[in-house]
Structure 1
Amino acid sequence: MFTAYAIITVITILANAGIAAADFSRAGFVVANSTEVGVPQTWIPRLAALKAAGAAGLLLGLMGFTAIGVAAATGLVLFFIGAIATHIRARVHHNIVFPGAYLVLAAASLVLVLAVAVRD
Protein backbone atom coordinates (compact mmCIF):
# COMPACT_ATOMS: atom_id res chain seq x y z
CA MET A 1 0.00 0.00 0.00
CA PHE A 2 2.83 2.39 0.80
CA THR A 3 4.33 1.88 -2.66
CA ALA A 4 1.08 2.93 -4.35
CA TYR A 5 0.82 5.92 -2.01
CA ALA A 6 4.41 6.95 -2.76
CA ILE A 7 4.05 6.62 -6.54
CA ILE A 8 0.71 8.45 -6.81
CA THR A 9 1.80 11.14 -4.38
CA VAL A 10 5.08 11.79 -6.22
CA ILE A 11 3.10 12.14 -9.46
CA THR A 12 0.72 14.54 -7.70
CA ILE A 13 3.64 16.55 -6.30
CA LEU A 14 5.30 16.83 -9.71
CA ALA A 15 2.05 17.78 -11.44
CA ASN A 16 1.21 20.49 -8.91
CA ALA A 17 4.75 21.83 -8.75
CA GLY A 18 4.80 21.98 -12.53
CA ILE A 19 1.52 23.85 -12.86
CA ALA A 20 2.52 26.17 -10.01
CA ALA A 21 5.72 27.00 -11.91
CA ALA A 22 3.66 27.69 -15.04
CA ASP A 23 1.37 29.93 -12.98
CA PHE A 24 4.27 31.81 -11.40
CA SER A 25 5.82 32.38 -14.84
CA ARG A 26 2.44 33.44 -16.22
CA ALA A 27 2.66 31.00 -19.08
CA GLY A 28 0.44 31.90 -22.02
CA PHE A 29 -1.95 28.99 -21.53
CA VAL A 30 -2.39 29.90 -17.85
CA VAL A 31 -3.26 33.51 -18.63
CA ALA A 32 -5.59 32.46 -21.46
CA ASN A 33 -7.38 29.89 -19.33
CA SER A 34 -7.73 32.27 -16.39
CA THR A 35 -9.20 34.93 -18.64
CA GLU A 36 -11.58 32.45 -20.24
CA VAL A 37 -13.00 31.25 -16.89
CA GLY A 38 -13.13 34.75 -15.39
CA VAL A 39 -10.32 34.49 -12.85
CA PRO A 40 -8.60 37.86 -12.39
CA GLN A 41 -4.93 37.94 -13.41
CA THR A 42 -4.04 39.25 -9.97
CA TRP A 43 -5.16 35.92 -8.49
CA ILE A 44 -2.70 33.83 -10.48
CA PRO A 45 0.29 34.19 -8.09
CA ARG A 46 -1.93 33.41 -5.10
CA LEU A 47 -3.38 30.34 -6.78
CA ALA A 48 0.14 29.27 -7.76
CA ALA A 49 1.24 29.62 -4.13
CA LEU A 50 -1.63 27.37 -3.02
CA LYS A 51 -0.64 24.69 -5.55
CA ALA A 52 3.01 24.94 -4.53
CA ALA A 53 2.07 24.73 -0.84
CA GLY A 54 -0.01 21.65 -1.60
CA ALA A 55 2.92 20.01 -3.38
CA ALA A 56 5.26 20.87 -0.49
CA GLY A 57 2.77 19.53 2.04
CA LEU A 58 2.45 16.27 0.13
CA LEU A 59 6.23 15.96 0.14
CA LEU A 60 6.28 16.51 3.89
CA GLY A 61 3.61 13.83 4.20
CA LEU A 62 5.85 11.39 2.34
CA MET A 63 8.67 12.29 4.71
CA GLY A 64 6.60 11.13 7.69
CA PHE A 65 4.59 14.21 8.60
CA THR A 66 1.33 12.40 7.91
CA ALA A 67 -1.00 15.07 9.26
CA ILE A 68 0.55 17.65 6.94
CA GLY A 69 0.20 15.25 4.02
CA VAL A 70 -3.48 14.72 4.82
CA ALA A 71 -4.03 18.48 5.12
CA ALA A 72 -2.22 19.15 1.85
CA ALA A 73 -4.12 16.48 -0.06
CA THR A 74 -7.41 17.73 1.39
CA GLY A 75 -6.54 21.29 0.43
CA LEU A 76 -5.70 20.26 -3.13
CA VAL A 77 -8.95 18.30 -3.44
CA LEU A 78 -10.90 21.37 -2.33
CA PHE A 79 -8.84 23.63 -4.60
CA PHE A 80 -9.54 21.56 -7.70
CA ILE A 81 -13.22 21.15 -6.84
CA GLY A 82 -13.25 24.95 -6.86
CA ALA A 83 -11.44 24.99 -10.20
CA ILE A 84 -14.00 22.65 -11.73
CA ALA A 85 -16.83 24.72 -10.28
CA THR A 86 -15.25 27.82 -11.83
CA HIS A 87 -15.12 26.12 -15.23
CA ILE A 88 -18.74 25.03 -14.93
CA ARG A 89 -19.87 28.49 -13.79
CA ALA A 90 -18.10 30.06 -16.76
CA ARG A 91 -19.45 27.36 -19.09
CA VAL A 92 -15.93 26.50 -20.20
CA HIS A 93 -16.07 22.76 -20.64
CA HIS A 94 -13.56 22.14 -23.43
CA ASN A 95 -10.61 21.98 -21.02
CA ILE A 96 -12.29 20.90 -17.79
CA VAL A 97 -10.38 17.61 -18.03
CA PHE A 98 -7.23 19.35 -16.77
CA PRO A 99 -8.53 20.42 -13.34
CA GLY A 100 -10.36 17.08 -13.31
CA ALA A 101 -7.08 15.20 -13.70
CA TYR A 102 -5.47 17.23 -10.91
CA LEU A 103 -8.52 16.51 -8.74
CA VAL A 104 -8.22 12.78 -9.38
CA LEU A 105 -4.54 12.83 -8.44
CA ALA A 106 -5.19 14.83 -5.26
CA ALA A 107 -8.11 12.58 -4.28
CA ALA A 108 -6.04 9.45 -4.89
CA SER A 109 -3.23 10.89 -2.77
CA LEU A 110 -5.70 11.68 0.00
CA VAL A 111 -7.26 8.21 -0.03
CA LEU A 112 -3.86 6.54 -0.05
CA VAL A 113 -2.33 8.68 2.68
CA LEU A 114 -5.35 7.95 4.86
CA ALA A 115 -5.07 4.22 4.10
CA VAL A 116 -1.38 4.22 4.99
CA ALA A 117 -2.04 6.22 8.17
CA VAL A 118 -4.71 3.78 9.32
CA ARG A 119 -2.38 0.83 8.78
CA ASP A 120 0.34 2.41 10.93
Structure 2
Amino acid sequence: MFIGYVVLAALLALAMTGSAVATFTRNPAVVGSMTKVGVPDGWLPWLGTAKVAGALGLLAGLVVPVLGEAAAVGLVLYFIGAVIAHVRVKDYAMAPALVLTVLPAIALVLRMASA
Protein backbone atom coordinates (compact mmCIF):
# COMPACT_ATOMS: atom_id res chain seq x y z
CA MET A 1 0.00 0.00 0.00
CA PHE A 2 2.82 2.40 0.82
CA ILE A 3 4.38 2.07 -2.63
CA GLY A 4 1.00 2.89 -4.15
CA TYR A 5 0.79 5.98 -1.96
CA VAL A 6 4.32 7.03 -2.92
CA VAL A 7 3.57 6.78 -6.63
CA LEU A 8 0.17 8.49 -6.39
CA ALA A 9 1.42 11.20 -4.02
CA ALA A 10 4.34 11.99 -6.32
CA LEU A 11 2.11 12.18 -9.40
CA LEU A 12 -0.50 14.29 -7.61
CA ALA A 13 2.17 16.58 -6.19
CA LEU A 14 3.53 17.09 -9.70
CA ALA A 15 0.04 17.79 -11.07
CA MET A 16 -0.80 20.18 -8.24
CA THR A 17 2.48 22.02 -8.64
CA GLY A 18 1.89 22.43 -12.37
CA SER A 19 -1.66 23.58 -11.75
CA ALA A 20 -0.47 26.04 -9.09
CA VAL A 21 2.12 27.49 -11.46
CA ALA A 22 -0.58 27.86 -14.13
CA THR A 23 -2.81 29.58 -11.57
CA PHE A 24 -0.07 31.93 -10.31
CA THR A 25 1.00 32.86 -13.85
CA ARG A 26 -2.61 33.41 -14.92
CA ASN A 27 -2.53 30.79 -17.65
CA PRO A 28 -5.41 31.67 -19.99
CA ALA A 29 -6.87 28.14 -19.94
CA VAL A 30 -6.91 28.00 -16.14
CA VAL A 31 -8.12 31.56 -15.65
CA GLY A 32 -10.74 31.09 -18.36
CA SER A 33 -12.09 27.98 -16.69
CA MET A 34 -12.15 29.63 -13.27
CA THR A 35 -13.77 32.78 -14.62
CA LYS A 36 -16.38 30.65 -16.39
CA VAL A 37 -17.48 29.15 -13.06
CA GLY A 38 -17.47 32.51 -11.25
CA VAL A 39 -14.19 32.45 -9.34
CA PRO A 40 -13.15 36.04 -8.56
CA ASP A 41 -9.70 37.05 -9.81
CA GLY A 42 -8.62 37.91 -6.28
CA TRP A 43 -9.02 34.27 -5.23
CA LEU A 44 -6.41 32.97 -7.68
CA PRO A 45 -3.37 33.46 -5.39
CA TRP A 46 -5.20 31.71 -2.55
CA LEU A 47 -6.26 28.82 -4.75
CA GLY A 48 -2.73 28.44 -6.12
CA THR A 49 -1.38 28.44 -2.58
CA ALA A 50 -3.87 25.73 -1.59
CA LYS A 51 -2.61 23.57 -4.47
CA VAL A 52 1.02 24.07 -3.42
CA ALA A 53 0.12 23.23 0.19
CA GLY A 54 -1.61 20.07 -1.00
CA ALA A 55 1.41 19.04 -3.06
CA LEU A 56 3.83 19.65 -0.20
CA GLY A 57 1.54 17.92 2.28
CA LEU A 58 1.27 14.81 0.12
CA LEU A 59 5.05 14.63 -0.10
CA ALA A 60 5.46 15.31 3.63
CA GLY A 61 3.06 12.41 4.14
CA LEU A 62 5.82 10.10 2.99
CA VAL A 63 7.48 10.76 6.35
CA VAL A 64 4.65 12.02 8.57
CA PRO A 65 1.47 10.08 7.75
CA VAL A 66 -0.94 12.59 9.30
CA LEU A 67 0.34 15.35 7.00
CA GLY A 68 -0.30 13.22 3.94
CA GLU A 69 -3.77 12.38 5.19
CA ALA A 70 -4.57 16.03 5.91
CA ALA A 71 -3.28 17.10 2.50
CA ALA A 72 -5.35 14.43 0.75
CA VAL A 73 -8.49 15.53 2.63
CA GLY A 74 -7.74 19.15 1.75
CA LEU A 75 -7.36 18.32 -1.94
CA VAL A 76 -10.55 16.27 -1.97
CA LEU A 77 -12.43 19.22 -0.43
CA TYR A 78 -10.79 21.66 -2.86
CA PHE A 79 -11.89 19.66 -5.88
CA ILE A 80 -15.36 18.96 -4.47
CA GLY A 81 -15.65 22.74 -4.41
CA ALA A 82 -14.51 22.85 -8.03
CA VAL A 83 -17.11 20.28 -9.06
CA ILE A 84 -19.82 22.20 -7.20
CA ALA A 85 -18.73 25.44 -8.92
CA HIS A 86 -19.04 23.75 -12.32
CA VAL A 87 -22.45 22.25 -11.54
CA ARG A 88 -23.72 25.56 -10.13
CA VAL A 89 -23.20 27.31 -13.50
CA LYS A 90 -24.25 24.24 -15.51
CA ASP A 91 -20.76 23.77 -16.95
CA TYR A 92 -20.44 20.03 -17.35
CA ALA A 93 -16.87 20.08 -18.69
CA MET A 94 -15.63 18.98 -15.30
CA ALA A 95 -13.86 15.69 -15.95
CA PRO A 96 -10.49 17.00 -14.68
CA ALA A 97 -12.09 18.21 -11.44
CA LEU A 98 -13.85 14.87 -10.96
CA VAL A 99 -10.64 12.91 -11.53
CA LEU A 100 -8.75 15.24 -9.21
CA THR A 101 -11.41 14.65 -6.56
CA VAL A 102 -11.08 10.88 -6.75
CA LEU A 103 -7.28 10.61 -6.90
CA PRO A 104 -6.56 12.31 -3.55
CA ALA A 105 -9.34 10.19 -2.01
CA ILE A 106 -7.48 7.10 -3.21
CA ALA A 107 -4.23 8.57 -1.86
CA LEU A 108 -5.93 9.07 1.51
CA VAL A 109 -7.06 5.43 1.61
CA LEU A 110 -3.58 4.22 0.61
CA ARG A 111 -1.86 6.44 3.19
CA MET A 112 -4.21 5.31 5.96
CA ALA A 113 -3.84 1.66 4.98
CA SER A 114 -0.06 1.83 5.04
CA ALA A 115 0.33 3.67 8.37
What aligned pairs does 1:83-94 form with structure 2 within 5 A after superposition? 83-94=82-93
The TM-score, its normalising length taken from structure 1, stands at 0.92
Runs of 4+, deviation exceeding 2 Å: none
Query: Pairwise CA RMSD of aligned residues?
Result: 0.8
Instruction: For residues 16-64 of structure 1, give each alpha carbon's deviation from its aligned partner in whole angstroms, at most 9, with x where no partner exists.
Output: 11101100111000111111101111111100000110000111001x1
The whole-number CA distance in structure 1 between the counterparts of 2:3 and 2:13 is 15
SS in 2 for 1:26: coil
User: Residue 100 of structure 1 corresponds to which residue in structure 2?
Assistant: 98
Deviations 1:62-117 (A, max 9, x none): 1x1111111111100111111100100011112x0011111121111111111111
Give percent identity, aligned residues only. Answer: 44
The TM-score, its normalising length taken from structure 2, stands at 0.96
2:77 maps to which residue? 78
1:17 is paired with a residue of what secondary structure? helix
Give the aligned partner of residue 112 of structure 2: 114
